[in-house]
Homo-oligomer: A and B are copies of this chain.
Amino acid sequence: MPRKTIVPENTVDELSILDEEGRADAELDPKMDRDSLLKVYQAMVKARTLDDRMITMQRQGQMGTFAPGRGQEAAQIGSVYSLRPTDWFAPSYRSFGAQMWRGWAIDQLMMLWDGYFEGFDLPEGINDLPFSIVIGCHVPLATGVAMAQTCQGTDSVVLTNFGDGASSEGDVSESLNFAAVHNAPIVFICENNGYAISLPFEKQTKIKSIAHRAPAFGMPGMRVDGNDILAMVSATKEAIDRARSGGGPTLIEAVTFRMEMHTTADDPTVYRADNEVARWTARDPISRFEKYLLASGVLDASIKTRIASDVDEEIRLGREKFKQRAKPNAQEVFDYMYAADMPPELKAQKNEYLRKLAARLAGKKLTPV
C-alpha cells in the first residue's frame, strides 16, 4: 500500500566501444572482417567528401540548399550497415551517407538537392522510401511499413532515422506507441546531433537522453555513442536482429554532433560557440575509426590514399553525370500525380500548362486561345 518507486519493464542501455583514441573495448568489439571494415571506412570518407564537395558547389551556385551530414557518418552508416536490401529504410533528409550505402547514386543525390524531381527516382532492388523534408512525418509511415510486414508475414525489418528535433513532434511519439502495441519490426534511430537548426538539445527537451522515451512507450532503448562506428554497428545489429525475430521495436539514440551548418542557408555562428564545435572535433567519427584501423593494421597510409582518391574519382564521375542530367524538365510536373488515368480536369490543366510552357520556352508571348 505505501508509496514506492516503480520502474518500467524496458530499460535503456548506454553503449560505446571505441574511445577517442580509437581503442576498442575488446569484449564489445563486433570484430568485423577486414573487408567490411574498409568498406565502412570508405563509405564514411565518401559521405564526408561528398558533403564538402557539395558545399563548394552550393557556394558556387551549382547546387541548391542542402543539409550536410559532417560528423554523423558513423551514426548513419552504422545504422544501415546490417540491413538487407529487402529491408526497408525510411531516411530523414540528412542521410547522404546512409543513402549511398543503400545504393543511391551520387548524381541522384545531387539531382535531388539541386531541385530536380528526377532526384527521387529510387534505386532498384532496395526498399527505400523517398525522404520528406517535413520533420518527423516519415516516422509513422515507416511504422506502417513495419506493421505491414507482420500482416504479410515477411521477415523484413524497417529502419528509420530522425533528428533530436523530430523527437518533439507528436508523430514520433505516436509512432513509438503504434510500433510497440503492434510489436512491429522496426528500429527507430534518433540521430541526436545536438541541434535542431539553432535550438540546442537542452532546449528541445528536458531529458538527458532521447533513449529514455523507449521504456515510456514499451520498447528497449539504447543510448549509443553515435561517433563510434563499432557501437553503432553493434547496437543496430542487435535491434535489427530482435525485430527480425519477432522481438518488436527498439529506439536507439545515436549521440553525435552536426559539425556543419544546419543547411547551406544557415549561419551557425549566430547561435553556437566555436569551442563547442572544437570539442566535438576531438570526437570525430572518422578519425577515431581511422586510429582503430591503423592500430589494427587494417588501414595504412597507402590504402588511405587509395581510398581517398577512389572516393574523389567516384564523386567526380557522379558530378559529371549530374551535370549531364541536370536539365530542367518542366514538362513532367503533372506526371506521377495519380496512378490511375489523369482525371479530365487535370488533363485540361496540363494542356493549359504545356501550352504556356511551350510559349515560355520559345520566348514567345502567350496568345489567347
Q: A residues touching B (Cβ–Cβ < 8 Å)?
A: 1-9, 11-17, 19, 25, 27-28, 168-171, 173-174, 177, 180-181, 203-209, 211-213, 215-219, 223
Known A9-B208, A216-B216, A218-B207; judge A16-B28 contact (CB<8 A).
no
Known A181-B206, A204-B181; judge A1-B16 contact (CB<8 A).
yes
State in angstroms the CA–CA spacing of A170 and B169 once bound together. Answer: 7
Contact (Cβ within 8 A) A7 B1: no
State in angstroms the CA–CA spacing of A51 and B9 once bound together. Answer: 37
Smallest beta-carbon distance A266→chain B, Å: 22
Smallest beta-carbon distance A235→chain B, Å: 9
Contact (Cβ within 8 A) B13 A1: no
State in angstroms the CA–CA spacing of A215 and B223 once bound together. Answer: 16
Contact (Cβ within 8 A) A3 B14: yes
Q: Which residues of B contact A25 (CB under 8 A)?
A: 1-2
Known A169-B174, A181-B206; judge A13-B17 contact (CB<8 A).
no
Contact (Cβ within 8 A) A8 B168: no
Contact (Cβ within 8 A) A13 B2: no
* Among B27, B203, B209, B213, contact of A2 (Cβ-Cβ < 8 Å): B27
Closest to A6 in B: B14
Closest to A19 in B: B1
Contact (Cβ within 8 A) B215 A212: yes
Closest to A203 in B: B181
Q: Which residues of B contact A213 (CB under 8 A)?
A: 216
State in angstroms the CA–CA spacing of A204 and B181 once bound together. Answer: 7
State in angstroms the CA–CA spacing of A215 and B209 once bound together. Answer: 11
Contact (Cβ within 8 A) B12 A3: no
Smallest beta-carbon distance A140→chain B, Å: 10
Contact (Cβ within 8 A) A181 B169: no
* Among B17, B28, B207, contact of A9 (Cβ-Cβ < 8 Å): B207
Contact (Cβ within 8 A) A208 B8: yes
State in angstroms the CA–CA spacing of A12 and B28 once bound together. Answer: 32
Contact (Cβ within 8 A) B206 A217: yes
Closest 8 CB pairs of A and B: A170-B170, A206-B218, A216-B216, A173-B173, A180-B206, A8-B212, A207-B218, A213-B216
Closest to A136 in B: B170
Smallest beta-carbon distance A205→chain B, Å: 6
* Among B7, B168, B177, B207, contact of A12 (Cβ-Cβ < 8 Å): B7
